């Protein structure tokens, strides 16, 4: 991976649910052309791993990973299919051990202070904050920055183009996850130009109050 941190690849991590494997490559190309080269393909559909393989093989410049990772078996399958990173909505010791042994970057999900402390205790400093809006949003993350400044987050869940800048302005947020740049009607119409334009808009956002 070109960056030392998944959180630094782009201000926004597109969270993609692919229903038709034929959409994977053109969708990923549109996102990359718009400036969002890190792409999370969620394991929510039967074609997810097929889509991941296609993107990894055919889309130049993409750093494609897998989201909604729930089991050690999924960790193994995802890495074998070409995943460049792993994202989970939560974590257990077994899942964390599998992700740590996978050889690729990973973001275990947290929603409480105790979970953050437990991960820091295990040497993990980069995490997914999920579900961001429901779990307290920017106010919660701002409160964590004081006592736990070493933890960095990719908040995901309920974030859109209007709220993303508020998250990205926080010192402990490296990027945000979202799907607003991949509207379902645009995917259904295979309107890749629209998705590229929305991705380009998202890519202009900045993290930590700095310009990209």
Task: Render pLDDT for 66-101 as a digit per residue (tens, 0 to 9).
Answer: 999 999 999 999 999 999 999 999 999 999 999 999
The answer to whether 77 is a known catalytic residue is no
Inform me whether the pLDDT recorded for 104 exceeds 60.
Answer: yes
Interval 108-118 mean pLDDT: 98
What SS3 class is residue 6? helix
4: confidence class by pLDDT, cuts 50, 70, 90 = low
206: confidence class by pLDDT, cuts 50, 70, 90 = confident
138-168 as b/e, with b when 16 or more CB fall inside 10 Å? bebbbebeeeeeebbbbbbbebeeebbebbb
The rounded percent of the chain whose pLDDT value lies above 90 is 92
Inform me whether the pLDDT recorded for 209 exceeds 50.
Answer: no
- What's the pLDDT at 5? 87
Q: Which two tokens stand for residue 145?
A: 């920055």
**Catalytic member of 58, 76, 126, 128:** 128
Interval 120-126 mean pLDDT: 98
Average pLDDT value over all residues in the chain: 95
**Catalytic member of 19, 40, 58, 196:** 40
The answer to whether 40 is a known catalytic residue is yes
Inform me whether the pLDDT recorded for 3 exceeds 50.
Answer: no
């Amino acid at each position: 991976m070109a960056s030392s941190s998944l959180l630094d690849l782009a201000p926004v991590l597109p969270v993609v649910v692919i229903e038709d494997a034929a959409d994977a490559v053109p969708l990923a190309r549109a996102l990359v052309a718009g400036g969002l080269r890190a792409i999370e393909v969620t394991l929510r559909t039967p074609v997810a791993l097929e889509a991941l393989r296609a993107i990894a093989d055919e889309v130049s410049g993409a750093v494609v990973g897998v989201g909604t990772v729930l089991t050690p078996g999924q960790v193994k399958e995802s890495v074998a299919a070409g995943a460049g990173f792993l994202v989970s909505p939560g974590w257990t010791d077994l899942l964390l051990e599998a992700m740590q042994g996978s050889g690729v970057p990973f973001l275990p999900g947290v929603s409480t202070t105790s979970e953050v402390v437990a991960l820091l205790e295990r040497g993990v400093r980069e995490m997914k904050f999920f579900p961001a809006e429901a779990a307290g949003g920017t106010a919660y993350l701002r409160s964590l920055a004081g006592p736990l400044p070493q933890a960095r987050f990719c908040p995901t869940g309920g974030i859109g183009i209007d709220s993303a800048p508020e998250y990205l302005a926080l010192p402990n947020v490296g990027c945000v996850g979202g799907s607003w740049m991949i509207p379902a009607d645009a995917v259904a119409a295979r309107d890749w130009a629209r998705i590229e334009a929305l991705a380009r808009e998202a890519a202009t956002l900045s993290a930590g109050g700095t310009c990209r």
